[in-house]
Amino acid sequence: MTPFVEIEDVALRYPPQGAAEGHLAVSGLSLTVRKGEFVAVVGPSGCGKSTLMKLTTGLSFPTEGSVRVAGQPVRGPVSIAGMAFQNPVMLPWRLTRDNVLLPLEVVQPHRSRLRARRKEYQERAEALLASVGLKGAGAKYPWQLSGGMQQRASLCRALIHEPELVMLDEPFGALDAFTREELWQVMRDLHAARGFTAILVTHDLREAVFLADRVFVMSAGPGRIIVEREVAIPRPRDLETLYEPAFVDLVHELRGHIAEARA
Protein backbone atom coordinates (compact mmCIF):
# COMPACT_ATOMS: atom_id res chain seq x y z
CA MET A 1 0.00 0.00 0.00
CA THR A 2 1.32 3.48 -0.90
CA PRO A 3 2.04 5.52 2.24
CA PHE A 4 -0.20 8.53 2.83
CA VAL A 5 2.81 10.59 3.96
CA GLU A 6 6.25 9.72 2.61
CA ILE A 7 9.41 11.61 3.53
CA GLU A 8 12.40 10.10 1.77
CA ASP A 9 16.05 10.89 2.53
CA VAL A 10 15.31 14.57 3.13
CA ALA A 11 17.81 17.26 4.05
CA LEU A 12 16.91 20.88 4.70
CA ARG A 13 19.46 23.63 5.07
CA TYR A 14 18.14 27.02 6.14
CA PRO A 15 19.65 30.14 4.56
CA PRO A 16 22.93 31.39 6.06
CA GLN A 17 22.65 33.43 9.23
CA GLY A 18 26.23 34.23 10.08
CA ALA A 19 27.50 30.78 9.04
CA ALA A 20 28.85 30.38 5.53
CA GLU A 21 26.63 27.43 4.64
CA GLY A 22 23.59 28.11 6.79
CA HIS A 23 21.99 25.75 9.30
CA LEU A 24 21.39 22.07 8.43
CA ALA A 25 18.14 21.31 10.28
CA VAL A 26 17.53 17.72 9.12
CA SER A 27 19.60 15.26 7.09
CA GLY A 28 18.79 11.75 5.91
CA LEU A 29 15.27 12.15 7.29
CA SER A 30 12.93 9.34 6.19
CA LEU A 31 9.58 8.17 7.50
CA THR A 32 6.23 6.95 6.22
CA VAL A 33 2.74 7.26 7.67
CA ARG A 34 -0.18 5.07 6.65
CA LYS A 35 -3.60 6.51 5.89
CA GLY A 36 -5.64 6.84 9.08
CA GLU A 37 -2.61 6.22 11.29
CA PHE A 38 -1.71 8.35 14.31
CA VAL A 39 2.04 8.80 14.73
CA ALA A 40 4.06 10.82 17.23
CA VAL A 41 7.52 12.30 16.74
CA VAL A 42 9.73 12.91 19.77
CA GLY A 43 13.34 13.88 20.29
CA PRO A 44 15.71 16.33 21.96
CA SER A 45 15.18 20.09 21.60
CA GLY A 46 16.47 21.41 18.30
CA CYS A 47 16.32 18.05 16.54
CA GLY A 48 14.12 19.30 13.69
CA LYS A 49 10.64 18.20 14.80
CA SER A 50 9.05 21.49 13.76
CA THR A 51 11.00 21.39 10.50
CA LEU A 52 9.40 18.01 9.81
CA MET A 53 5.97 19.62 10.27
CA LYS A 54 6.82 22.41 7.83
CA LEU A 55 8.12 19.96 5.24
CA THR A 56 4.97 17.83 5.46
CA THR A 57 2.59 20.78 5.09
CA GLY A 58 4.52 22.53 2.33
CA LEU A 59 5.63 25.50 4.42
CA SER A 60 9.27 24.54 3.74
CA PHE A 61 10.86 22.52 0.94
CA PRO A 62 13.74 20.07 1.10
CA THR A 63 17.23 20.91 -0.06
CA GLU A 64 17.57 17.21 -0.89
CA GLY A 65 15.16 14.29 -1.01
CA SER A 66 11.39 14.23 -1.54
CA VAL A 67 8.13 14.69 0.37
CA ARG A 68 4.82 13.23 -0.82
CA VAL A 69 1.36 13.52 0.71
CA ALA A 70 -1.63 11.54 -0.60
CA GLY A 71 0.55 10.30 -3.44
CA GLN A 72 1.45 13.79 -4.67
CA PRO A 73 4.80 15.60 -4.36
CA VAL A 74 4.57 18.55 -1.98
CA ARG A 75 5.24 21.71 -3.98
CA GLY A 76 3.14 24.20 -2.01
CA PRO A 77 0.85 24.46 1.03
CA VAL A 78 -1.04 21.19 1.54
CA SER A 79 -4.75 22.08 1.45
CA ILE A 80 -5.87 18.71 2.85
CA ALA A 81 -3.99 19.38 6.09
CA GLY A 82 -5.26 20.98 9.30
CA MET A 83 -2.89 22.29 11.96
CA ALA A 84 -3.03 22.94 15.70
CA PHE A 85 -0.24 24.58 17.67
CA GLN A 86 0.83 25.08 21.28
CA ASN A 87 -0.62 28.60 21.19
CA PRO A 88 -4.27 28.57 20.06
CA VAL A 89 -3.87 32.02 18.40
CA MET A 90 -7.54 32.95 18.60
CA LEU A 91 -8.50 36.35 17.17
CA PRO A 92 -9.92 38.19 20.23
CA TRP A 93 -12.39 40.33 18.25
CA ARG A 94 -14.09 37.32 16.65
CA LEU A 95 -16.52 34.96 18.32
CA THR A 96 -15.16 31.49 19.02
CA ARG A 97 -17.44 30.07 16.32
CA ASP A 98 -16.01 32.52 13.77
CA ASN A 99 -12.46 31.66 14.86
CA VAL A 100 -13.24 28.01 14.14
CA LEU A 101 -14.52 28.97 10.68
CA LEU A 102 -11.31 30.79 9.71
CA PRO A 103 -9.84 27.97 7.55
CA LEU A 104 -12.99 27.96 5.43
CA GLU A 105 -12.17 31.53 4.37
CA VAL A 106 -8.95 30.22 2.81
CA VAL A 107 -9.41 26.58 1.76
CA GLN A 108 -11.29 25.66 -1.42
CA PRO A 109 -13.97 24.64 -2.17
CA HIS A 110 -15.30 26.05 1.12
CA ARG A 111 -14.03 29.57 0.42
CA SER A 112 -16.29 29.88 -2.61
CA ARG A 113 -19.29 28.49 -0.75
CA LEU A 114 -18.94 30.26 2.60
CA ARG A 115 -20.99 33.36 1.89
CA ALA A 116 -23.98 31.46 0.48
CA ARG A 117 -23.84 28.63 3.03
CA ARG A 118 -22.69 30.50 6.14
CA LYS A 119 -25.55 29.24 8.32
CA GLU A 120 -24.76 25.64 7.40
CA TYR A 121 -21.07 26.16 8.18
CA GLN A 122 -21.89 27.89 11.47
CA GLU A 123 -24.00 24.89 12.47
CA ARG A 124 -21.09 22.61 11.56
CA ALA A 125 -18.79 24.67 13.78
CA GLU A 126 -21.24 24.56 16.68
CA ALA A 127 -21.61 20.77 16.33
CA LEU A 128 -17.84 20.34 16.28
CA LEU A 129 -17.46 22.53 19.37
CA ALA A 130 -20.14 20.49 21.15
CA SER A 131 -18.26 17.28 20.29
CA VAL A 132 -15.25 18.49 22.29
CA GLY A 133 -17.28 19.66 25.28
CA LEU A 134 -17.82 23.29 24.20
CA LYS A 135 -21.54 23.32 23.56
CA GLY A 136 -22.74 26.94 23.54
CA ALA A 137 -19.20 28.36 23.55
CA GLY A 138 -19.37 29.39 19.90
CA ALA A 139 -21.16 32.64 20.84
CA LYS A 140 -18.42 33.62 23.33
CA TYR A 141 -15.23 35.51 22.64
CA PRO A 142 -11.92 33.70 23.16
CA TRP A 143 -11.06 35.87 26.15
CA GLN A 144 -14.14 34.46 27.86
CA LEU A 145 -12.71 30.92 27.62
CA SER A 146 -10.06 29.20 29.71
CA GLY A 147 -6.78 28.13 28.12
CA GLY A 148 -8.01 24.55 27.87
CA MET A 149 -11.25 25.66 26.24
CA GLN A 150 -9.35 27.76 23.73
CA GLN A 151 -7.19 24.77 22.85
CA ARG A 152 -10.31 22.65 22.31
CA ALA A 153 -11.59 25.36 19.95
CA SER A 154 -8.20 25.34 18.20
CA LEU A 155 -8.59 21.61 17.55
CA CYS A 156 -12.03 22.31 16.07
CA ARG A 157 -10.51 24.95 13.80
CA ALA A 158 -7.96 22.39 12.59
CA LEU A 159 -10.78 19.97 11.75
CA ILE A 160 -13.54 22.25 10.42
CA HIS A 161 -12.62 21.72 6.75
CA GLU A 162 -12.54 17.93 7.29
CA PRO A 163 -8.83 17.52 6.51
CA GLU A 164 -7.39 14.15 5.66
CA LEU A 165 -4.17 15.01 7.51
CA VAL A 166 -3.97 16.69 10.93
CA MET A 167 -0.66 18.11 12.12
CA LEU A 168 -0.29 18.71 15.86
CA ASP A 169 2.70 20.78 16.97
CA GLU A 170 2.89 20.59 20.80
CA PRO A 171 -0.83 21.45 21.04
CA PHE A 172 -1.13 20.63 24.76
CA GLY A 173 2.30 21.72 25.95
CA ALA A 174 1.19 24.97 27.64
CA LEU A 175 -1.65 23.42 29.65
CA ASP A 176 -1.72 22.12 33.19
CA ALA A 177 -1.41 18.37 33.70
CA PHE A 178 -5.10 17.68 34.32
CA THR A 179 -6.31 19.73 31.35
CA ARG A 180 -3.66 18.14 29.16
CA GLU A 181 -4.87 14.64 30.02
CA GLU A 182 -8.48 15.66 29.34
CA LEU A 183 -7.47 16.85 25.88
CA TRP A 184 -5.56 13.65 25.16
CA GLN A 185 -8.91 11.92 25.52
CA VAL A 186 -10.62 14.49 23.30
CA MET A 187 -7.96 13.96 20.63
CA ARG A 188 -8.25 10.19 20.98
CA ASP A 189 -12.01 10.35 20.43
CA LEU A 190 -11.79 12.77 17.49
CA HIS A 191 -9.31 10.50 15.72
CA ALA A 192 -11.43 7.40 16.38
CA ALA A 193 -14.58 9.11 15.09
CA ARG A 194 -13.13 10.84 12.03
CA GLY A 195 -10.32 8.54 10.89
CA PHE A 196 -7.93 11.26 9.74
CA THR A 197 -4.19 10.70 9.53
CA ALA A 198 -2.36 12.48 12.36
CA ILE A 199 1.23 13.49 13.05
CA LEU A 200 1.92 14.74 16.57
CA VAL A 201 5.15 16.50 17.55
CA THR A 202 5.61 16.50 21.31
CA HIS A 203 8.13 16.53 24.15
CA ASP A 204 5.71 14.57 26.35
CA LEU A 205 6.47 10.86 26.03
CA ARG A 206 3.31 9.84 27.92
CA GLU A 207 1.26 11.88 25.45
CA ALA A 208 3.03 10.22 22.52
CA VAL A 209 2.42 6.68 23.79
CA PHE A 210 -1.18 7.39 24.84
CA LEU A 211 -2.21 8.76 21.44
CA ALA A 212 -0.01 7.12 18.82
CA ASP A 213 0.05 3.90 16.84
CA ARG A 214 3.79 4.41 16.28
CA VAL A 215 6.38 6.68 17.85
CA PHE A 216 9.42 7.98 15.97
CA VAL A 217 12.50 9.21 17.85
CA MET A 218 14.69 11.81 16.17
CA SER A 219 18.40 12.30 16.67
CA ALA A 220 20.01 15.53 17.81
CA GLY A 221 20.32 18.03 14.96
CA PRO A 222 20.63 17.67 12.09
CA GLY A 223 17.63 15.47 12.75
CA ARG A 224 16.88 12.03 11.37
CA ILE A 225 14.81 9.09 12.61
CA ILE A 226 16.86 6.79 14.83
CA VAL A 227 14.09 4.68 16.42
CA GLU A 228 10.65 3.60 15.25
CA ARG A 229 8.51 1.96 17.93
CA GLU A 230 5.07 0.35 17.50
CA VAL A 231 2.65 1.02 20.36
CA ALA A 232 1.07 -2.39 20.92
CA ILE A 233 -1.23 -1.22 23.72
CA PRO A 234 -4.85 -1.95 22.69
CA ARG A 235 -7.30 0.83 21.87
CA PRO A 236 -9.33 2.52 23.16
CA ARG A 237 -6.88 3.67 25.85
CA ASP A 238 -8.09 5.43 28.99
CA LEU A 239 -6.15 7.28 31.65
CA GLU A 240 -5.71 4.10 33.69
CA THR A 241 -3.49 2.91 30.84
CA LEU A 242 -0.88 5.45 31.97
CA TYR A 243 -0.12 3.27 35.00
CA GLU A 244 0.02 -0.10 33.29
CA PRO A 245 3.47 -1.78 33.15
CA ALA A 246 3.55 -1.98 29.33
CA PHE A 247 2.86 1.75 29.07
CA VAL A 248 5.42 2.72 31.72
CA ASP A 249 8.05 0.43 30.18
CA LEU A 250 7.61 1.94 26.72
CA VAL A 251 7.82 5.50 28.05
CA HIS A 252 10.99 4.52 29.93
CA GLU A 253 12.48 2.96 26.78
CA LEU A 254 11.76 6.05 24.69
CA ARG A 255 13.28 8.28 27.36
CA GLY A 256 16.45 6.19 27.14
CA HIS A 257 16.62 6.61 23.37
CA ILE A 258 16.28 10.39 23.69
CA ALA A 259 18.96 10.50 26.38
CA GLU A 260 21.30 8.64 24.02
CA ALA A 261 20.40 11.01 21.19
CA ARG A 262 21.32 14.01 23.33
CA ALA A 263 24.66 12.57 24.41
| Strand, coil or helix: 174 | coil
Q: What is the pLDDT of residues 98-107, one digit of tens each?
A: 999 988 887 7
Predicted model pTM: 0.92
Residue 128's pLDDT is: 92
Residue 109's pLDDT is: 66
The vertex-80 CA angle with 78 and 81, nearest 5°, equals 70
Q: What is the DSSP-derived secondary structure letter of residue 16?
A: P
Backbone dihedral region of 173: left (phi > 0), alpha (psi from -120 to 50 degrees) or beta? alpha
- State how beta strands 165-169 and 5-14 pair: unpaired
Q: What is the mean pLDDT of the chain?
A: 91
| Residue 19 pLDDT > 80 | no
- At a CB cut-off of 8 Å and minimum separation 6, what does 12 contact? 24, 25, 26, 29, 48, 51, 55, 60, 61, 62, 63
Residue 87's pLDDT is: 85
Confidence of residue 16 (pLDDT cuts 50, 70, 90): low
Domains and CATH numbers, the chain: 5-80+164-262 (3.40.50.300), 90-161 (no CATH)
| Strand, coil or helix: 15 | coil
Alpha helices in 65-138 (DSSP H): 96-100, 110-113, 118-131
Average of per-residue pLDDT across 227-242: 96
Residue 92's pLDDT is: 93
Interatomic CA distance for residues 128 and 133, integer angstroms:
9
Confidence of residue 173 (pLDDT cuts 50, 70, 90): confident
* Percentage, residues of the chain above pLDDT 70: 95
Average of per-residue pLDDT across 140-151: 94
Average of per-residue pLDDT across 201-207: 95
Average of per-residue pLDDT across 48-70: 93
Average of per-residue pLDDT across 180-209: 95
